[in-house]
Structure 1
């Protein structure tokens, strides 16, 4: 393999080569059994005499770091006394902004026996063979270089048409910006709209990553209570520059925002010259009732940015979402997207455009909805006489209020409702049904409640 050596000055070059190869072996950059460049080749690359490299290699062999094999080359042979592995970086005085002391990446966890994780679709329902065919087709097309930051034109056209029909979103292709999931859409909006110290209103309970994101951008995040009709508009601070809501399927409670609250929120935003982010994260899966129109379709003054995602509908691995923005924000959002990552991955965008245009997304949603409806009904039936189930007509999870402790059953992955509150919290549990099969639901819930009952004794 190619190995980088940096030489300074002209003094004892063999010693410099020796130390750098030795250090690379000690900290794990060069691993046991890896082949080093021949002395002639490395000498030519470093512009030094071949004998200089040979002397360094001989010292490394004498110390047990390298071994020569006749006719094969020179290989790493770390001595048994050396514990390889990257050394901890040296400390420095460089520190992140203070806000990052309280924001950490979400910890990964092993797959539990009974997985009620929220926001996870069933990847077994994802039409992998069809998707592979579409991706392979796009890979055979000659690469077109960089895309515009707003994304693949075919995908933006497909999104505008599909969500115009399925969700009554009013959008032309030029209104759509393709993002790396909904989280990047929120980040772009925040970058464009938030000045340090600006007030941003979020639902309580609500989506923690959105709250943390706005804080990281310097916003003063204020919680606004949610009741049976949705966010309490009268409690939104008058200073709020931005209001983040999930009106179609409130996260995590699941209740839809009433039409009266929707119109009241839009009127408030117009009076206060504020922007509303409508996160429509999983409402494609609808099980009852006719859906209310999204805020974006009711908006007549350009106060709403509509955010959608394919992570729940199809698969998180695609990392594709989008936003639909008023014309006044589009140039800034495109610029922010370009500065962030230029544009989302090309092949996946093109494949998804065909997936939508060929009617495969609509077919997948219909199929998945039938499967999820059975799981949802099973969970609701189990919880009916145990907890206070929050009414919900769509989505990939159910919420129930009452005395339950998800942490008491380590083999069951379920979300504690209290984790979605920034202040005083309501006890309860949030149960996703995308990651658990129908036949495992009863046993998983039985273990969850049995563990809680043991903990209360």
Structure 2
């Protein structure tokens, strides 16, 4: 790779080179430790003499901006101080929209591994210790052989046919979804599926209904597209269908494991929701984000399997069954939306990387995914039982569990007055990560309680962590 230097004319060659290198170092464009090209190669690149380059390197070394290492080359000095780039946006014509995005309260991001607390009940994180590295590596080798056959062209926007077919068979087997490979669109996680659907279905001023409390990134995404987002209350049976406005265009729900409370939507409520969506012409997004993991009772039917008119888009992800870093998800589209959403994927993202797609297709086809889900199910079940034992035992004085039969997080609500922000703050000081239930409320009154993710925390860490929480509660209540 050539170093970007522009030499104009034939005068002051050394001065031109010196000024550009110095500016690149001081601005931070050339980072500390960057190795510069040998003087001979840079001279050939620029069409100047090697002596000019050598003299410039010597002068920059004298200025303490470069340092030479015998046998290794010339490097940017680690002590060279880069100037902070300062650029305001106030004078730009797009200043207002930039401010809107700058002030957007993003939520639910995961911290870097080195910033996580010793005992962290963060949601959405999976158990890394159970990831089948050997199976995944073998499938990745297969993927490399497939990509080696590539002609160097872009792939299909909707995803590799092999993965689309594998996903269609997987969701039909595990969730009873009615679809073929032609209905499947592969995305970068469920969030991109929501983004593509919002681009196709939403325009400024239209109305979208979401569960409240609910999933903040979905609500924020719909609002960013200019929609008026209405928070619809939920009760023990799920979203209150009667409270959904008649003029909504899109309805976003998590019927199998309501986020964040956890209860499943009742059959009667599912039928009422479908009936209303069909009557008013709304599209329902069914986010089935973590329902591979079910611990009690019979599996509930998906809205998509009950839908006979093409009103439901089924959205799923492999972030919860495998790893969030994989960034692969999918949506099952009704016929009316397939071409439009595929076009949105094409113009915004072209397609997902083919190497992980080939890997995942092989992983599903060989039964590795189902085997991994069964292994994680046993682990999550034991962690869930441990949490339930504590919240039905010594912690029952302060909290009651919201009934939940799936996923890998629990919600608890307070029985007595508890200062949740204070509890969260004090818990962090003793290396325990807690997450308020109130963070997920939008227009309905916030619920006082906590969510406990048990995907990432080790089973043996649950009791020590809850012991610390109990000790804090005894002090502040």
The answer to whether the Cα contact below 8 Å between 1:230 and 1:256 also exists between their aligned partners in 2 is: yes
Which residue matches 1:406?
424
Deviation at 1:130? 0.9
Separation of aligned partners in 1, 2:71 and 2:433: 56
**Are positions 1:7 and 2:7 aligned together?**
yes
After TM superposition, the structure 1 stretch with the greater mean CA deviation from structure 2, 437-446 or 318-327, is 437-446
Deviation at 1:50? 4.5
Gaps of 5+ in 1: none
**Are positions 1:430 and 2:455 aligned together?**
no
Which residue matches 1:87?
84
The answer to whether the Cα contact below 8 Å between 2:319 and 2:329 also exists between their aligned partners in 1 is: yes
Separation of aligned partners in 2, 1:365 and 1:77: 50
Classify 1:104/1:225 alpha carbon distance in 2 versus 1 (closer, same or farther; 3 Å).
closer
After TM superposition, the structure 1 stretch with the greater mean CA deviation from structure 2, 205-214 or 143-152, is 143-152
Deviation at 1:16? 2.1
**Are positions 1:453 and 2:474 aligned together?**
yes
TM-score by length of 2: 0.89
Separation of aligned partners in 1, 2:120 and 2:35: 45
Which residue matches 1:60?
60
The CA RMSD over aligned residues, in Å, is 2.1
Separation of aligned partners in 1, 2:234 and 2:149: 48
Q: How far does the alpha carbon of each residue in 1:381-409 deviate from its partner, in whole angstroms, 9 at most, with x for none? A: 11112322111111111111103533330
Within 5 A, what are the aligned runs for 1:373-392?
Answer: 373-384=381-392, 385-386=396-397, 387-392=399-404
**Are positions 1:267 and 2:275 aligned together?**
yes
Deviation at 1:10? 5.5
Deviation at 1:47? 3.2
Gaps of 5+ in 2: none
**Are positions 1:129 and 2:134 aligned together?**
yes
Separation of aligned partners in 1, 2:348 and 2:60: 45
Query: Tell me, what secondary structure is at the counterpart of 1:429?
Result: strand
The answer to whether the Cα contact below 8 Å between 1:181 and 1:311 also exists between their aligned partners in 2 is: yes
Q: How far does the alpha carbon of each residue in 1:293-317 deviate from its partner, in whole angstroms, 9 at most, with x for none? A: 1000111111110000111111112
Classify 1:239/1:11 alpha carbon distance in 2 versus 1 (closer, same or farther; 3 Å).
farther
Q: How far does the alpha carbon of each residue in 1:391-442 deviate from its partner, in whole angstroms, 9 at most, with x for none? A: 1111111111103533330011222100010132110111111111221111
The answer to whether the Cα contact below 8 Å between 2:2 and 2:45 also exists between their aligned partners in 1 is: no
The answer to whether the Cα contact below 8 Å between 2:43 and 2:49 also exists between their aligned partners in 1 is: yes
Q: How far does the alpha carbon of each residue in 1:231-258 deviate from its partner, in whole angstroms, 9 at most, with x for none? A: 0011111121111000000000000011
Classify 1:70/1:248 alpha carbon distance in 2 versus 1 (closer, same or farther; 3 Å).
closer
Separation of aligned partners in 1, 2:70 and 2:308: 79
Classify 1:253/1:17 alpha carbon distance in 2 versus 1 (closer, same or farther; 3 Å).
same
Within 5 A, what are the aligned runs for 1:232-311?
Answer: 232-311=240-319
After TM superposition, the structure 1 stretch with the greater mean CA deviation from structure 2, 180-189 or 91-100, is 91-100
The answer to whether the Cα contact below 8 Å between 1:29 and 1:86 also exists between their aligned partners in 2 is: no
Which residue matches 1:393?
405
Separation of aligned partners in 2, 1:442 and 1:88: 48
Separation of aligned partners in 2, 1:25 and 1:359: 53
TM-score by length of 1: 0.93
Classify 1:213/1:38 alpha carbon distance in 2 versus 1 (closer, same or farther; 3 Å).
same
The answer to whether the Cα contact below 8 Å between 2:207 and 2:230 also exists between their aligned partners in 1 is: yes
